[in-house]
Structure 1
Amino acid sequence: MFKVIIAVLGLGFFTTLCSAQQVRPAKSAEIYRDLKTLKRMPKVLYLAAHPDDENTGLLSWLINEQNVETGYLSLTRGDGGQNLLGTEQGAALGLIRTHELLEARKLDGAQQFFTRAIDFGFSKNTDDTFKQWDADSITADVVWVIRKFRPDVIICRFPPTAAAGHGQHAASAVVAEKAFKLAADKNAFPGQLKYVNVWQPKRLLWNTFRFGGVNTISENQLKANVGQFDAQLGMGYGELAGLSRSLHKSQGAGTQSVAGVRTEYFSHVLGEPAKATLFDKIPLNWTEKAVNDVDDLIDVLLLSFDYNHPDKSLHGLLMLRKRISELQDAGLKKDKLAAIDKIILSCTGFMGEVVTNQPEAIAGNSYNFRLNVISRSASPVILEQVNWINQTDNLNRRISGDSLVTIERKIQIPADAKITEPYWLENAAKNAATFSVANDTLIGLAENEAALNVSLLLKIGTDKFTVKLPLSF
């Protein structure tokens, strides 16, 4: 029996280095936003139970107005929801809703995380929910995401009470409180510490709400004004949120794109209370982290940024990259180097893809692939090396002038290549409420990273960058 490797990967708009997607440059407005985010220190993790539980208006504001790195952790993939589009239920519906969330994140800019929890359907309260969910394993998953993402502020959508309206909603708040306390405890889930360090967020908040007849907001709660108009987006954050939420098509979750400023409310749960803003007593920029010169370097880049020629920023970006690489804080250095590498690659106008006309591949067989690369920068990008999985070419080839370079190679799929499938579905579920994931380091990921990649070694200026491109149809 043949072992088939599904090699179909959409060629959408992505800019992430070393990812499971082809590389595309970001738009100039996105590069500019990423530069502003590079200057900011805080991170926010929003947490709830299901796809479409997130407050997209708040996420849009955090990313585009506050310029802070933000993620949404949905405990489940929505496997137990309705499906207005077709007959898929269970794991198949969860896969659909996973990709609906990913499409929403492309609009608002947040990162997306999940746990092993399965949406088993409606539950009345937390007791009912934890008869199904394994509280310890889900708490471990949330602790893992916290330790890996390292948020300063965690915001829950729901309280751990009947006001949440659904047992899984309330349970998400219970798990958040446990994980908040345990993430900094070296004795909690010590096996994780082979890969990540302990981490203590500054505070845990509940994003209160008025849903139907349930009103949990109060004027003495912490407030934030959101929904402002963003000229680079051409809309307000509430309007962007409406577009983002409307991508949950299987749930019929479309909402109006509402213009205008509105108020979000927050109730303190754990950690150090905030009196004025979400980020009270959290370093906001490099200067407040006692790295005094980086803010100045970024300010110069922002002031001189040319939307029509972002490659003019390359010299300053490479200087900034050198400074960041000298940081002693390993976690901060890793995060910010990944961010600036993405910006640099986009500023060169680099595009890379490895494609074949064959939609499926069989382990052990060979197929013809095309490597297409191009750079639109006035400063050349040097393609020094290509690792084709089973052979390496040393090229030192100049890529510039908006001229497409195509290199064809026959690539043999490794004989031991695994069948392509979502990592959380590789094994039979542990039970009706928990997926079985053999490799714990995959937990949190929205989808698989590509197993089969062509690796490029690029030189930009005097710096070298490794870019991984997945084999794609």
Structure 2
Amino acid sequence: MKRSSIILTLLLTFTLTSWCQAPKVWKSGNIYQAIEKLNFLGSVLYVAAHPDDENTRLISYYSNHVKARTAYLSLTRGDGGQNLIGPEIRELLGVIRTQELLSARRIDGGEQMFSRANDFGYSKNPEETLKIWDRDEVLSDVVWSIRKFKPDVIINRFEHNPTRTTHGHHTSSAILSYEAFDLSGRKDIYSDQLSKVEPHQPRRLFMNTGWWFYGSRDAFEKADKSDLLTLDIGTYYPILGKSNSEIAAESRSQHKCQGMGNTGSRGTSMEYIKLLKGDMPASGTNVFEGINTTWSRVEGGSHIGPMVEKIIENFSFTDPSASVPHLVKVYSEIQQLEDGYWKTVKSQDIKEIIQACMGLYMEATSNEHLYAPRSEISIRFEATNRSSVSSFINKITLEGTGFDTLLNVELSNNKPFILNKKTTIKESVNLTAPYWLTEEGTLGMYKVKDQKLIGDPESERSIKAHFNLNIDGVEIKYTQQVPYKYNSPEDGPVYRPLEITPELFVTTGDKVYIFNKGQSKDVEVKVKSAASDQSGKVYLPLPEGWTTQPEFHDFNIAQKGAEQSFTFQVTPPSSQSEIFVSPIVEANGKKYSQEMVSIDYDHIPYQSVLLEPKAKLVNIDININGRYIAYIQGAGDEIPTNLEQVGYQVEELSIDDITSETLSRYNAVVMGIRAYNIWDNLRFKQAEILDYVNKGGTLIIQYNTSRRLKTDQLGPYPFTLSRQRVTVEEAPVTILAPEHPVMSTPNKITGADFEGWVQERGLYFPNEWDEKYTPILASNDPGEDPLKGGLLVAPFGDGWYVYTGYSWFRELPAGVPGAYRIFANMLSLGNTVRP
């Protein structure tokens, strides 16, 4: 393939990456706006660090008002944050946040890009961030993204040289963008990229500033703004029936796992951007001033602009199909241009507009969601032309299979063309998996071997349908996703991604198994089939010192989608030991060792993730008292399952379940993370909860944030939540009260119990508290003062109250031995003698 063809294929793949959605509904206003956008050949790239860092007001403004091609480059996928809607953390949270960003872009009109940087958690300075990320590799990704997207203008969200403490990821995103601006146009920098992309030098680099960078609104009002561009982004779009701010709010509200619901506003709304590099636009408002954004920037394309302008002038909102003959002529003229960036972008845009004007409904759907390579697949093709425009289907091809059929079928007005076919999926198709998770990366970087994939928001699906049409005498090819489609009695048509998977999956029943003092425990292993008539053996390989009975199980699964469970009795060594184990299936002359994890939320497409089926087995010395535990979930975590691993009987309660009588049945009550941020009605139960403590119960409240706190009385005595945190997981921990029961009974806690922690020590520690609380631990990041508010304990009446900001929701699921021992001591407080 020629180099120019590789570049254009790469660009087309990037523009088409939005899979498994119901067909887009185009209204006349959307079509008109898209035609207007045909005549603007300019692009903006917005750069920041995480999902939710982006300013959706500016993205919507440039996409919908200026009509520029607009994208957001988020250096990470937000893997290291918290999840307010479910238990997913780390890589699975990154999958959710990726899809939330894509949902946001579908609303505000932008596109989405990423680097390989892994969000490893909060970082207090860019030096740490850039060391963990691998500075040069992430910089190369930013350069790659610029060369791939070819922005005229780049806008950074954050300062590259901040004068105040901020998130290290934020500053790093600005530093790398600042450097990449000058490097992306040089042929001698990352020259290995140049077989796939061309050097590109943007014209201007800005920073999206505002009062928060000045410390207060008053300080910003008084500041010299002569070097700022001022934009009124509150514009109203009559053809859409929404203001820019309302669109932006709807877009931002897609960040549901971060609680970013936003109420739209109307009226004037100002944004400010500061020039960092390039020439200052004289107008003070137009970032594209002096940049040719007309068709004349494309060689031989000057005549296309007037053709599009005439279509705009004559557009009929009641009959968009009247524009199709003229749009087809424009499409033909674009195809006569030399191959290049804008030819590829605008060819795809005008194809979608032609389809929308015709009301041309095309889809290819499957009646199942799960397939293995070499299996038979049934596809229903539909094409319905809801206009009088002359059109024919000449050919349909199903990529990833052997199906290819020549046709000569006229698509008459409002007469559906339906074709049902069975074919076989090729053995060579790629399995369905997020491309950045197919190989093990590092703490700071995902591993992606294929350079062409870097920047893409998600993996391209293997099964696609290609419709070759003749529209008004011109050949036009359309590519459609192939989802699984079914009818729900409640929701009507539902679309779900079509998954190509191994024939067999295998997983363990739990991700962590805690063994106490060398005692044996059953480990459950599940085998699931993605094809019928599968038989073989399943093993649980263990290292020396660990044993299992039996050595293997035979399985025979007749039906596709069925699952069988098996039990291995595992015995650990007598000494403390931690291992990771991955079950293996042998069948069909092959070995299988992958599990499929499903993520199902209403606001994003159904996600299936193939991962190594890794479980952690930990043999520890742990004692427990008070086995009956009530757990009230907050944002969602897996701690109840983890506690059951060490012998507790845990019952999850709803807020409505909380009564004095109910709570009295339990030795301890545990509040899940952010419970007091999530549940409005929890404040009405707080008196009963504290009364439970007063009468002898033990209450453990895990971290909450001061923002959106539902009560002003978290504890029996006052304390103040802060944003203080310890981000370094290896940070030294000092035991301030070694003889306190929470550090001594029933497990004697030592420095060894703070080894092997993951991601962080804790977050949102209290920074002020009543003297009746005993601070138990102190820890701090390098160069900072010790923070003593991470674990506060106070007797209250006959019971115990505990507030803790340490990250048990990460440490227990990660199988950290010391975390279990300390948590057991907290739960045991009601069964100990007070100091």
Alignment TM-score > 0.5, same fold: yes
* Paired residue type of 2:443: A
* Paired residue type of 1:408: N
Aligned position for 2:458: 447
Residues 153-193 of structure 1 deviation map (CA, whole Å, 9 limit, x = unaligned): 00000012344721100000011012111111111111211
1:376 to 1:228, Cα distance in 2 relative to 1, 3 A: same
**What pairs with 1:314-463 in structure 2 (closer than 5 Å)?**
314-328=324-338, 330-388=340-398, 389-429=401-441, 431-463=442-474
1:324 to 1:418, Cα distance in 2 relative to 1, 3 A: closer
Aligned position for 2:47: 47
Report the identity percentage: 35
Residues 51-78 of structure 1 deviation map (CA, whole Å, 9 limit, x = unaligned): 1111111111111111111111111111
* Paired residue type of 1:472: P
* Bigger shift: residues 381-390 or 431-440: 381-390
1:411 to 1:264, Cα distance in 2 relative to 1, 3 A: same
Shift of 1:212: 8.3
Shift of 1:310: 1.3
**Hey, what's the Cα distance between the residues in 2 that align with 1:443 and 1:32?**
33
Matched, 1:258 2:277: no
**Hey, what's the Cα distance between the residues in 1 that align with 2:296 and 2:464?**
39
1:20 to 1:83, Cα distance in 2 relative to 1, 3 A: closer
Matched, 1:219 2:225: yes
Aligned position for 2:248: 241
Shift of 1:142: 1.2
1:364 to 1:166, Cα distance in 2 relative to 1, 3 A: same
Residues 101-120 of structure 1 deviation map (CA, whole Å, 9 limit, x = unaligned): 11111111101111111111
8 Å CA contact 1:373, 1:405 repeated in 2:
yes
Shift of 1:288: 6.8
Shift of 1:439: 0.9
Task: From the CA coordinates, give the structure whose radius of gyration is larger.
Answer: 2
8 Å CA contact 2:392, 2:411 repeated in 1:
yes
**Hey, what's the Cα distance between the residues in 1 that align with 2:80 and 2:392?**
50
SS in 2 for 1:132: helix
Shift of 1:91: 0.6
1:112 to 1:61, Cα distance in 2 relative to 1, 3 A: same
Shift of 1:21: 5.0
Residues 185-205 of structure 1 deviation map (CA, whole Å, 9 limit, x = unaligned): 111111211121111100110
Shift of 1:325: 2.4
Matched, 1:198 2:205: no
* Paired residue type of 2:404: T
Aligned position for 2:492: none
**Hey, what's the Cα distance between the residues in 2 that align with 1:238 and 1:132?**
37
Residues 345-377 of structure 1 deviation map (CA, whole Å, 9 limit, x = unaligned): 222222222222212112111122211221112
Residues 325-361 of structure 1 deviation map (CA, whole Å, 9 limit, x = unaligned): 2334722222222221221122222222222221211
8 Å CA contact 1:158, 1:170 repeated in 2:
yes
Shift of 1:24: 4.3
8 Å CA contact 1:351, 1:374 repeated in 2:
yes
* Paired residue type of 1:279: F
**Hey, what's the Cα distance between the residues in 2 that align with 1:18 and 1:257?**
28
Shift of 1:323: 2.2
Q: Which structure ranks higher in relative contact order (CA pairs < 8 Å, sequence separation ≥ 6)?
A: 1
**Hey, what's the Cα distance between the residues in 1 that align with 2:72 and 2:255?**
15
8 Å CA contact 1:38, 1:339 repeated in 2:
yes
Matched, 1:57 2:57: yes
**Hey, what's the Cα distance between the residues in 2 that align with 1:346 and 1:195?**
32
Aligned position for 1:77: 77
* Paired residue type of 2:460: E
Residues 269-292 of structure 1 deviation map (CA, whole Å, 9 limit, x = unaligned): 112232322112111323576844
SS in 2 for 1:214: coil
Aligned-residue CA RMSD (Å)? 2.0
In terms of fraction of residues, the more strand-rich structure is 2
**Hey, what's the Cα distance between the residues in 1 that align with 2:483 and 2:62?**
34
SS in 2 for 1:33: helix
* Bigger shift: residues 189-198 or 145-154: 189-198
8 Å CA contact 1:246, 1:254 repeated in 2:
yes
**Hey, what's the Cα distance between the residues in 2 that align with 1:455 and 1:394?**
12
Aligned position for 1:6: none
**Hey, what's the Cα distance between the residues in 1 that align with 2:17 and 2:123?**
40
Shift of 1:213: 6.8
Aligned position for 1:12: none
Aligned position for 2:294: 285
Residues 435-470 of structure 1 deviation map (CA, whole Å, 9 limit, x = unaligned): 111111011111111112222211112221222233
8 Å CA contact 1:385, 1:396 repeated in 2:
yes
SS in 1 for 2:449: coil
1:183 to 1:275, Cα distance in 2 relative to 1, 3 A: same
Aligned position for 2:282: 275
Matched, 1:157 2:148: no
8 Å CA contact 2:160, 2:178 repeated in 1:
no
**Hey, what's the Cα distance between the residues in 1 that align with 2:77 and 2:245?**
24
Aligned position for 2:629: none
* Paired residue type of 1:153: V
SS in 2 for 1:211: helix
Shift of 1:29: 1.6
**Hey, what's the Cα distance between the residues in 2 that align with 1:427 and 1:293?**
49
* Bigger shift: residues 251-260 or 195-204: 251-260
1:352 to 1:393, Cα distance in 2 relative to 1, 3 A: same
* Paired residue type of 1:270: K
SS in 2 for 1:191: helix
* Paired residue type of 1:398: E
1:172 to 1:164, Cα distance in 2 relative to 1, 3 A: farther
**What pairs with 1:130-209 in structure 2 (closer than 5 Å)?**
130-162=130-162, 163=164, 165-209=166-210
* Paired residue type of 1:376: R
Aligned position for 1:465: 476
Q: How many residues align?
A: 457
Shift of 1:143: 1.2
8 Å CA contact 2:232, 2:268 repeated in 1:
yes
**Hey, what's the Cα distance between the residues in 1 that align with 2:187 and 2:198?**
8
* Bigger shift: residues 162-171 or 137-146: 162-171
**Hey, what's the Cα distance between the residues in 1 that align with 2:408 and 2:298?**
39
In terms of fraction of residues, the more helix-rich structure is 1
1:53 to 1:419, Cα distance in 2 relative to 1, 3 A: same
Residues 202-253 of structure 1 deviation map (CA, whole Å, 9 limit, x = unaligned): 0110011223872567421121111111112212111221111111111011
8 Å CA contact 1:28, 1:307 repeated in 2:
yes
**Hey, what's the Cα distance between the residues in 2 that align with 1:311 and 1:426?**
45
* Paired residue type of 2:105: R
1:466 to 1:314, Cα distance in 2 relative to 1, 3 A: same
**Hey, what's the Cα distance between the residues in 1 that align with 2:322 and 2:17?**
24
8 Å CA contact 1:85, 1:249 repeated in 2:
yes
* Paired residue type of 2:51: P
**Hey, what's the Cα distance between the residues in 2 that align with 1:251 and 1:127?**
26
